[in-house]
Structure 1
Amino acid sequence: MSFSRLSLAPRRIGTARAILVPATLVLAALPIAGTDARAQATDDGVTLPELSVVGEPGRGGFGVASPQGSAASVIERPVGQVVTQVGRDGTIANRPATNIGSVLLDSPGITVRQGNGARDVVISIRGNNARSTGVTKNMVVLEDGFILTQPDGASRFDLVDPRAYGRIDVFRGPQSALFGNYATGGALAFRTRTGREIDGYEVGIDAGSFGYLSNSFTVGGVSGPVEISLFASDARGNGYQNHSSYDTQTINLLASYTPTPDNRFTLKVINNEVNADLPARSSLDQFRINPYQRGCATAATAAPGCTLTGLFANGAYGARIPVTADEGGFGRKDRRTIVAARWEHDIDAQTTWRTQLGFDERNFNQPFYTTSSRGSYPSWNFLTDLTRRGDLFGLPAVGYVALAYNTIDNHITTFNRAPYGGPTLGALIGEQEAVQSNLGGRARTEVALSDQWTGVLGISAENTTITGRSVAYGYSASGRTTTVATTDRSFLNVAPELALVYRPNAAWAFRGRAATGYTTPAASNLFVTPAGLPGNNTRLQTQENLGFDLGTDWTPTENLRLSLTGFYEFFRNELVSQSPGAGLLSYTFNAPASEHRGIEFAADWAFSPGWRAVAAYTFDDQIYTRYVEQLSAGTFTNRFDRAGNAIPGVPAHQLLARIGYDQPTGPLAGLGAYVEAVFQDGFFIDNANQLKAPGYTIVNANVHYAADLTGGYAKRISLYAEVRNVFDETYLSSAQNLANSLNATSGLQNGAASLAATTGSVFAGAPRNVVAGMRLSF
């Protein structure tokens, strides 16, 4: 993506020149020894105020306890970025967080949707993934500096257990200059607790409504040059919907070895197993009648509002038999394994070189609804970068250059489902093999222009190649037909970034940023047709966006932090996914032009001893500005102009508000409680804006206690209990966008009533439930 293609002016700028100018400035800063600018750059760095206590400010590296003074990773509090830091104290440590979504709501710009089973959630930043109901796209996810997003852009949060983390950074807005492909919405950077933070071991247990039980174990410490932290958990439950029981196990290891002050080695290992039953997604009409799909064990005795899915009686074609989720055996049995290592070397006092390599394999067996997908996605991630603190034209500067390469090998088979007998497979309907690779470079310079002004210039250039083949099979009484689709695509994208920060004093910071992002289609997008079946969709283009941020941060005292950011983003060929009907695969199309604009506000106020109030508000208005949709049915074909319509799946208003009290002194020190409200506006679920999913407000209440123990073997105890959805509101937590359709008899577009009766869309949110837990530290 060249900058000129997204700029408001039509003139073109040569790609080579666009890369050469900022890269030359970065490289000019690298070899010149000079003033140690890291402290200056860090002090001038403007991020969204930390909404909770974070790790030690003196830490050098991200995910490894490197010596004091070593160069920080580029993602550690970068200057000019719009970043929220969600810490452990007050957010993770004192609540039974069953999934990462409840923690991330502390950041403005975050939208959470219920995923497919267990603790799987779909996260979006600034609404860029809010219309997805399965895999998270349009962001890059990292953990301890290692990339968790696979090279096809897919991220999942089954493997993410909130209790393992000490801090989470939320990068908002286009971030491809810093993170490369897929960072059109932003990035998430998870940081596990290090061995020295744990310093011993902990055992924890949480239990609650609907058979929820979670056991966890954490151990960590330092011995000479070795530091290790290990987290393991087992979580299971019956689920609050019919046919939604699950169990999932996670192991998360972070180990570092520092043989000399100039060399640090880090090992990262994650393994997650998930085995989950999936309830059927209902229509909006069924949600209103039977939101939790109760009394839906068998089709013959199904209660009103039960969702039934039609499976081919012979598993191939012809008559269908309606079955419930139990009868169809809908579910997931997936495994994710990540093994990665990094070497950090301080070339001199101002220069650090890092090289890391990771293997990431996603193995899945998913008998979803009318089809079942089985496959393996092994991938490799390589990154090498150089960070140097020095002078640029006599000004303190931090320079960064990086080379990144990643590749994924996709193998998928798709079968029809057959009724009864558990997850019975029918006929093979698709085979897909594809290789996707991304090769690119990045460069970034942070320059202290004066005591009050800091400038940032960055750029990335990346080439993506996708080669693959999909074979689709169709069945009828006359036999089997075969359709072959192949692709050999190459995408070259360029993403510049420019930021300027003005800090007149310690209390105020003003920032402006212009940045670009790109997301190439994945191989899986290229081989699902608008009919929701394996086939040819290989003409998809790269999604590109140009975003402008203006914001201010005000910290008049250490007890009050306020932040306000306005953003306006212009999209070209936005990738939008939707469902063509119940049980079918979601397909992806390009909307030629669209705009996202909004406001993000965050507040953290300790207004009296022990009292604290937190708020995170987002206004996000997203519209198509150029998109004509063609619909066909029978002998009719009509085109509909969607320009000016809201992009489906994105709520305009979201708010988290929390107020709490923690006793600071006396015999009850460590006892606390809070109440929070989570509000989400309604949102359209179709391109014609005919049907709107209802908004909601839920209230959660928490009480917790933590104290140091003396005279015994245990060092510390933490107790907590939480009532979620206190007022037992029935609300919608996930809705698959639905395709509009024509009436085959009249040729007119079907209305809201037709959409509301279409199954395969809605999951209800959890009713009132209670979860309590305990953690002992030794």
Structure 2
Amino acid sequence: MLATCLACALAQASSVAPLDPDVPATDVRTLDRVVVEGTRLRGVSAFDTPASTATIDLRDGAEGTGADVSEVLRGVPGLLARNRQNLAQDTQLSIRGFGSRATFGVRGVRLYVDGIPASMPDGQGQLSHFSLAGGDRIDVIRGPFSALHGNSSGGVVEMFSEDGQAGDPWRVRASVGRNDSHTLAAQLLGEGAGGIGYNFALSRYDTDGWRDHSAARRDIANLKLHKDLGERRRLDVVANWIDVDAQDPLGLTAEQARENPRQAVGVAHQYDTRKTIRQQQLGATYEHGLGDAQTVRVRAYGGDRNVVQFLPIPPAPQNNSALHAGGVIDLDNRYDGIDARWTWEGALAGAPLEVTVGANLDRQRQHRRGFENFVGDQVGVRGGLRRDERNTLENADGYAQTWWRFAPQWSLLAGVRHSEVQFESDDRYVTGANPDDSGRVRYRQTAPVAGLVFAPADALRFYVSAGRGFETPTFNELSYRADGGAGLAFGLQPAVSDNLEAGVKWRGAPGWSAEAALFRADTDNELAVARNAGGRSSFRNVGQARRQGAEAAFAMPLGEAFDLQLAWTWLDATFRSDYLICQGAGCTVPNTLVPAGTRIPGVAEQQLYARLNWRHGPWSAAIEGEALGDVTVNDLGSEGASGYGLLHLSGGRDWRTATGTLRAFARLDNVFDRQHIGSVIVNEGNGRFYEPGVGRQLTVGLQWNWDRMR
């Protein structure tokens, strides 16, 4: 019965490989030869893995600004990436409803950039430092096998820079768009002396912002080097640097968004709300083959991320509470880690077998300070110290997994990961009215996962998988107790999810593919907002929640010049237990009922994507449509953002010369200038839930690929 339902769902929609390799590179590939590294399987393709995966090809760049990762994450079922039009808060990313409550950055989804975690040990992460200019691909894993990545892995997104090879072209790209937006990027790609492959990418994005008070500048530099040392030995080194200065327009109320979606609220101007980010990191991976069957891989990394953010918190709540942490956040993050794994590829009972065993240690050291955002009558400036903490977050994980094709048509993938996550806080700001808030808490969780694949034909796979995942509170969620008292919220427990998935994958003639999946995740100790007061959010465990739904993907060529991609998601995400929240200023005891069956905010029930590509000689074009259902914006479900549908057009032309290729491109987003809410700030304490999406916007640009071998 399940197989019949899934086979019927294949008619719905999806994403796959372009018919021609020159088709614009934002297409999602699910080719047989693709091995998704997040599964940690060396010899098993994504097609033979009992999991929902997708690979997005970034080579040659997209026909847009290239400024935000959300531009290239369209078309993956189950994944929702929303551009906030606000570089101070980063992309809003969720997978099958996990991560939807994040008001800034990314949580609930595990992130990696060139193998280096972009999620900290507590699960809080960001995408801003990934260089699209030097990108090769993005791998996405959805469903139970995400749990093998440990804490806060409701899904996995891995981003990779391209490997430089001899003869690769160098590239310069420039684009300009509405609101005085400019992008300039360069990539030096190739192989240098001694056979060292290199990829050095630089980019700058400057904009006055689509909304008032949203001007921003972001500079990124990324260097990737690799060296094949022979005898199955390889060394990779990655260095990354980012510098961001961004104004924060804040959210709008529903009425403000209707009246003028491009405005910023008055307090954004009054307090000059803004954020600066400085990050630099270095990582290295060494892989060593032992004989024909064994491989050892060791990866180490370290970095520093400094954030200063000015918030619009009025002086009154800061003056009225000795426990208030102020309106300026000054956060210095130092982080490092190591991952080591051993893989053996052989046979058991005459059938192919692959085994991986590994461990990783990650550490985050924070110096978190809070300052008043006023001096006398002047606001929006750094004032007196109100918080000074030294925090350490560490995780120590061990994992193992095995894949075994125990019969010609059957294979099994099973794994387990044990994680220990420790939070420790050393309070350095102690006064007579503000006691010592130091403390520590340790969380432990074992996450098993298993999947079975049946291959009745070369082009067809059926699979089922199940696993357990968990999500600890982030340090930001531990920072404030729900009762308003002193100290950290060390009473919070991790949310634990039991995940089930059943799916089917099909690969036909070149360019033809389809896949579909049914999934369910039942969560205990779901984390949700308990109260918003004085510009601060506190959290509590609220019982049970369920995220269930269906996904489908389809791709096909239409003659020699066209190919079609479709992706569809249905997601039902609800709280399964009654719980109480605070409503009203000064509330410290939850008094308002959220009944079981209420939708989880920030999650759309329906999502649809379609793209038709055309290419003829040097010309290319695409028409792209996306539709999103309505979302609620608070736990009560009393307010929401309406669904919308948008149409986008893009096109370009290549000119080949004796020394390379010049490409001119253009993209028109939101062709019909549809007013819509691009993203939402879940449970925003002032009712400013809404971040309007961009109106009609034209971007034009040029890209020069210099072929140095001609």
* TM value normalised by structure 1: 0.80
Q: Which residue number in structure 2 is paired with residue 727 of structure 1?
A: 672
Instruction: Please state whether the residue corresponding to 2:200 is helix, strand or coil.
Output: strand
User: Of the candidates 226, 247, 272, which is equivalent to residue 217 of structure 2?
Assistant: 247
1:731-750 to 2 correspondences below 5 Å: 731-738=676-683
Say which is worse superposed, 482-491 or 76-85, in terms of deviation: 76-85
Q: Which residue number in structure 2 is paired with residue 609 of structure 1?
A: 560
Q: Which residue number in structure 1 is paired with residue 468 of structure 2?
A: 516
User: Of the candidates 630, 649, 657, which is equivalent to residue 710 of structure 1?
Assistant: 657
User: Of the candidates 356, 363, 370, which is equivalent to residue 414 of structure 1?
Assistant: 370
Q: Which amino acid aligns with 1:178?
A: L
Cα displacement (A) at 1:78: 7.4
Whether the 8 Å contact between 2:531 and 2:539 is mirrored in structure 1 is no
Distance 1:578 1:71 in 2: 41
Q: Which residue number in structure 2 is paired with residue 588 of structure 1?
A: 539
1:53-64 to 2 correspondences below 5 Å: none
Long gaps (5+) in structure 1: 1-46, 64-69, 294-305, 310-324, 475-479, 664-668, 741-757
Whether the 8 Å contact between 1:525 and 1:588 is mirrored in structure 2 is yes
Q: Which residue number in structure 1 is paired with residue 351 of structure 2?
A: 395
User: Of the candidates 141, 149, 153, which is equivalent to residue 171 of structure 1?
Assistant: 141
Cα displacement (A) at 1:598: 0.6
The reply on whether 1:777 has 2:705 as its aligned counterpart is yes
Cα displacement (A) at 1:561: 1.1
Cα displacement (A) at 1:574: 1.8
Say which is worse superposed, 480-489 or 621-630, in terms of deviation: 480-489
1:312-711 to 2 correspondences below 5 Å: 325-370=268-313, 371-418=327-374, 423-470=380-427, 481-530=433-482, 535-577=487-529, 580=532, 584-631=535-582, 638-663=591-616, 669-707=617-655, 709-711=656-658
Whether the 8 Å contact between 2:15 and 2:565 is mirrored in structure 1 is no
Q: Which amino acid aligns with 1:720?
A: F
Change (3 A) 1:372 1:119: closer
Cα displacement (A) at 1:378: 0.5
1:175-190 to 2 correspondences below 5 Å: 175=145, 177-183=147-153, 185-190=154-159
Distance 1:553 1:533 in 2: 53
Q: Which amino acid aligns with 2:67?
A: T
Change (3 A) 1:427 1:574: same
Instruction: Please state whether the residue corresponding to 2:250 is helix, strand or coil.
Output: coil
Whether the 8 Å contact between 2:144 and 2:500 is mirrored in structure 1 is no
Say which is worse superposed, 620-629 or 142-151, in terms of deviation: 142-151
Cα displacement (A) at 1:48: 8.4
Change (3 A) 1:464 1:307: same
Q: Which residue number in structure 2 is paired with residue 308 of structure 1?
A: 266
Q: Which residue number in structure 2 is paired with residue 764 of structure 1?
A: 692
Q: Highest CA radius of gyration, 1 or 2?
A: 1
Cα displacement (A) at 1:618: 1.1
Distance 1:467 1:75 in 2: 41
Q: Which amino acid aligns with 2:386?
A: I
Cα displacement (A) at 1:531: 7.9
Percentage of pairs with the same residue: 21
How big is each residue's C-alpha offset from its partner over 1:440-490, in whole Å with a ceiling of 9 and x where there is no partner? 11101000122211111100011111111457789xxxxx83143233111
Cα displacement (A) at 1:642: 2.2
Distance 2:248 2:378 in 1: 16
Distance 1:735 1:348 in 2: 53
Distance 1:265 1:615 in 2: 39
Cα displacement (A) at 1:96: 3.4
Q: Which amino acid aligns with 2:343?
A: T
1:87-106 to 2 correspondences below 5 Å: 87-88=57-58, 92-106=61-75
Q: Which residue number in structure 1 is paired with residue 250 of structure 2?
A: 280
Distance 2:604 2:484 in 1: 25
Q: Which amino acid aligns with 2:206?
A: R
Whether the 8 Å contact between 1:404 and 1:440 is mirrored in structure 2 is yes
Q: Which amino acid aligns with 1:659?
A: L
Cα displacement (A) at 1:627: 3.5
Change (3 A) 1:161 1:768: farther
Whether the 8 Å contact between 1:281 and 1:760 is mirrored in structure 2 is yes
How big is each residue's C-alpha offset from its partner over 1:366-416, in whole Å with a ceiling of 9 and x where there is no partner? 112222100111011110001110112332101101111101111111123
Change (3 A) 1:494 1:58: same
Long gaps (5+) in structure 2: 1-13, 19-26, 314-326
Cα displacement (A) at 1:177: 4.4
The reply on whether 1:209 has 2:178 as its aligned counterpart is yes
How big is each residue's C-alpha offset from its partner over 1:61-97, in whole Å with a ceiling of 9 and x where there is no partner? 969xxxxxx993899877222101112369x444433
* TM value normalised by structure 2: 0.88
RMSD: 2.9
Whether the 8 Å contact between 2:360 and 2:396 is mirrored in structure 1 is yes
Whether the 8 Å contact between 1:61 and 1:73 is mirrored in structure 2 is no
Change (3 A) 1:225 1:697: same
Whether the 8 Å contact between 1:600 and 1:618 is mirrored in structure 2 is yes
Distance 1:533 1:197 in 2: 62
Whether the 8 Å contact between 1:120 and 1:158 is mirrored in structure 2 is yes
Whether the 8 Å contact between 2:422 and 2:441 is mirrored in structure 1 is yes
Distance 1:280 1:61 in 2: 37
Distance 1:71 1:768 in 2: 43
Q: Which residue number in structure 2 is paired with residue 27 of structure 1?
A: none
Say which is worse superposed, 233-242 or 252-261, in terms of deviation: 252-261
1:194-233 to 2 correspondences below 5 Å: 194-196=163-165, 199-223=168-192, 224-233=194-203
Instruction: Please state whether the residue corresponding to 2:436 is helix, strand or coil.
Output: strand
Q: Which residue number in structure 1 is paired with residue 21 of structure 2?
A: none
Change (3 A) 1:557 1:341: same
Distance 2:649 2:64 in 1: 10
Change (3 A) 1:198 1:552: farther
Distance 2:247 2:701 in 1: 25
Change (3 A) 1:610 1:346: same
Instruction: Please state whether the residue corresponding to 1:776 is helix, strand or coil.
Output: strand
Whether the 8 Å contact between 2:83 and 2:678 is mirrored in structure 1 is yes
Instruction: Please state whether the residue corresponding to 2:133 is helix, strand or coil.
Output: helix
Change (3 A) 1:435 1:575: same
Change (3 A) 1:275 1:534: farther
Distance 1:456 1:193 in 2: 29
Change (3 A) 1:533 1:701: farther
Change (3 A) 1:596 1:384: same
